[in-house]
Homo-oligomer: A and B are copies of this chain.
Amino acid sequence: MSDLKPIIEALIFASPEPVTLKALLKLLDTEPKEDVEAAIAALRQDYDRPGGLQIVEVAGGFQIVTRSEFHEWVRRLFHERTTQKLSVAALETLAVIAYRQPVTAPEIAEIRGVNTAGVLGTLVDRKLIKIVGRKQVVGRPFMYGTTREFLERFGLNDITDLPKVEDMSELMGFDIPLGEPTPQTALPFESASVEDSGETLADVDNDSSQ
């Protein structure tokens, strides 16, 4: 078969595990062993050219990976690629700020049940949130709110455009028991607008002390 070499290349490329000679012979069961071995040898010779990729033998099989000297670039890629995406923790924090703003770090931590200090920095760096003032309580913590970039990013005209939780349930088939609100679950739904938030924040504090 004339296509033996490219087929083997495609197989090695697509396999999550290193592909053994045995596995290749099984997949290409109509091909003589010598031909398969020769094709592998030719393919490996192809990869000896200076390129970004190499064929390595690991765990008794073949695998196509990036050349070791470029690993630093690959790491950088993973470091940098986060422009469009956020970690789950960051997104949750952003959601809390969006729905509860203006809100302080301790309040966010209280709602999320975990400390969020590092994540706040990320969100400020990405211009999704900003400091909007200080809360007039002990320690005068910073209050955070969402930015204009945030609205643009999410296609919102203003913050009152944020979907209410009622919308969510209708839209997504989420089942949110709005009927019998416990204090904790009832509060967030009422405070989508900034105007309400002063009162709501007081209620959160109240809530947390129970």
Contacts and interface: CB of A to CB of B under 8 A. Distances in A.
Chain A at the B interface: SS class: helix
A81 B16 CA distance: 9
Interface in A151-172: 155-157, 161, 163, 167, 171-172
A77 B136 CA distance: 40
**Number of this chain's copies in the complex:** 2
Taking residues whose C-beta sits less than 8 angstroms from the other chain, chain A's interface range is 35 or more
A6 B52 contact: yes
Given A15-B81, A66-B14, A76 B173 contact: no
Nearest to A134: B161
A74 B11 contact: yes
Contact of A80 (B26, B118, B132, B156): B26
Contacts of A17: 81
Contact of A171 (B11, B132, B142): B142
Contacts of A148: 84
A183 interface: no
Interface string A1-31: 0010111111111111101000100111000
Contacts of A13: 52-53, 64, 66
A95 B66 CA distance: 38
Interface string A52-91: 1100000000001011001001101110110010000000
A136 B136 CA distance: 37
A125 B171 CA distance: 12
Given A11-B74, A134-B155, 16 more contacts: A6-B50, A6-B52, A9-B53, A10-B67, A11-B73, A13-B64, A14-B77, A27-B76, A27-B80, A120-B171, A131-B163, A133-B157, A134-B161, A140-B161, A142-B163, A143-B155
12 contacts: A6-B50, A6-B52, A7-B52, A10-B52, A11-B52, A11-B73, A15-B81, A16-B81, A28-B73, A120-B171, A132-B155, A136-B157
